[in-house]
Amino acid sequence: MRFIGLKSTMLAVGLMLAGAGHAAPQAANSAATATTPSTATAPAAPAQPVTADVKPAGTTPAAAATPAADPEMLARDGAPELAPTKGIGDAVDGDIGIQPQVTKNGERAKHFHNAILLPVIIAISVFVLFLLLWVVFRFRAAANPVPSKTAHNTTIEVVWTLVPVLILVLLAIPSIGLLSAQFKPPPKDAITLKVTGNQWYWTYTYPDNGGFEITSNLLKEKDEVAPGERAREEADGPRLLAVDNRVVLPVGVPIRLITTSADVIHSWAIPAFWIKLDAVPGRLNETSFTIEKPGLYFGQCSELCGPKHGYMPIAVQAVPLDVYNRWVVAKGGTVAGAAVAPPASDNAAVAATTGPTVNATTAAPTSNQAATANPAGAGNPGN
C-alpha cells in the first residue's frame, strides 16, 4: 500500500515538472512575438519629418528665381532712366562725317578716316581733275593743228604704275592694323552678350550673368499702336530707333559680342561703337569692344532681311559697372560673387530632413561658348 502511495506521489511530481518545462518555451515565444512588431516598425519613424516637409512641385524654384525689387533699374524701357542726347549715339540731320566714337577702335577708325583717307582722296581727286583740265586746254585742236604721234613714254608709265602702288601700300599698313584690332580676341574677364536676329526683332542673352534673356522690339508711334499698347515717347529715343527693351552694358569692361540668327541673315550695327557684325543662321560670329563713355547709343539692322528690315532698331545703354550689376539682379540674373541664396524657410526644411535630400534649385541655363575663350560656368569674371 505504501508502495502504491509513493508511486502516486512521484507521478504527481513528474507531471508538475513537465508542465513547468512546457510553460517556459511558450513564455519565451510570447516574449519574442511581442518584441518583433516593434522592431519591424521602428525604421518607419524617421520618414515622418520628410513627409511633413514636402511642398508642391515648383514652389522652391519660383521663390529662388524672383528678382530683387529695384524699380529704378527698370524705369525706362527695361533699363535705368536715361534720355537720349542729341548728337551722341545718333545721327543728326544735316551732319557730315562720322558719329562721335566711344570705343578705342572707333576713335582709331575715325582718325584714320579724317586724317589719312580724306586728305589722300581729296589730293588724288584734285590732281586728276587738274590733269583733265590741262589736257583739254593744252591739247585742244586750235593749239595743235598737227597732233603729236607719241605712243609711249617709259618714264611716265613707270611713274603712274609705282606711285599708285606706293599709295596703296601706305594705306594698307594702318588699315590692316585696324582690321586686326577689330577682331582681336577678347580678354578672359570680358562680359558676353549673345545677339540673335529674328524677323524682325532682336533677342539678347547674357550667358555670364545667369543666362537671362530679353527681347527688343520697335516702339511704334501714337497713331500706329493698338488700344492698350505703349507708344513711343521723346524720352525713349528718335522715331524708328526707340525700343521697348534696351540693351544695358557696363562702361570700361570688355564686351564679347556673339551674333547669330534664327531665320535669315541680319547685321547688328552700332555706328558709335564702330561695330557691324553679321548674324548668320547656324553660325556664331564674334568680335569685342569696350565702351568708354556712359550714354544711350542707337543702331539698326544693316543687312536686308525682309519687308520690315527698316524696323529692327538697336538701343544700347552704357552705365557704370555698379549700376550694371544692380540691373542684372533686377532682371533676375546673377553677378559673380553675389549668388542669390534660397529663402530661409526652404533652408530650414532641408535641414530638418533626415533622409536623402533632392536639390530643387533651378540650374542656370548653359550657353554655347564654342566660339569664345570664356571658361564654362555661371558668373561674370569681369566684375
pLDDT of residue 146: 85
pLDDT of residue 8: 54
pLDDT above 60 for 212: yes
Nearest CA among 337, 316, 320, 350 for reference residue 379:
337
Q: With beta carbons less than 8 A apart as the criterion, state whether 318 and 251 touch.
A: yes
- Mean pLDDT of the 263-286 span: 95
pLDDT of residue 145: 84
Can you read off the three cell numbers belonging to residue 270?
Answer: 552700332
pLDDT of residue 225: 87
DSSP-derived letter for residue 243 is: B
Out of 31-45, 73-87, 206-220, 244-258, pick the least confident. 31-45
355: exposed, middle or buried (C-beta count within 10 Å: 0-12, 13-18, 19+)?
exposed
pLDDT of residue 324: 94
Kindly report, residue by residue over 45-70, the tens digit of the pLDDT: 444 443 334 444 433 343 344 455 57
For the chain, the first-to-last Cα distance in angstroms comes to: 116
pLDDT above 90 for 1: no
How much is the pTM? 0.66
- Mean pLDDT of the 96-110 span: 92
**What percent of the chain clears pLDDT 90, i.e. is strictly above it?**
49
214: exposed, middle or buried (C-beta count within 10 Å: 0-12, 13-18, 19+)?
middle
Nearest CA among 335, 368, 376, 181 for reference residue 260:
368
Q: Which tops the pLDDT comparison, 361 or 193?
A: 193
Kindly report, residue by residue over 287-334, the tens digit of the pLDDT: 999 999 999 999 999 999 999 999 999 999 999 999 999 999 999 899
pLDDT of residue 143: 84
Q: Which of 6-10, 90-94, 133-137, 182-186 has the highest mean pLDDT?
A: 133-137
Q: With beta carbons less than 8 A apart as the criterion, state whether 266 and 201 touch.
A: no
Residue carrying C-alpha cell 525682309: 306
Can you read off the three cell numbers belonging to residue 252?
Answer: 570700361
pLDDT of residue 336: 76
- Kindly list the distances between the CA atom of residue 195 and the CA atoms of 207, 256, 278, 286, 366, in Å, as whole numbers in the listed order: 11, 11, 10, 10, 15
Kindly report, residue by residue over 153-207, the tens digit of the pLDDT: 899 999 999 999 999 999 999 999 999 998 888 888 899 999 999 999 999 999 9
Cα–Cα distance for residue pair 304/285, rounded to 1 Å:
18
What is the set of domains in the chain, with CATH numbers?
71-82+189-352 (2.60.40.420)
Q: Mean pLDDT score of the chain, rounded to an integer? A: 76
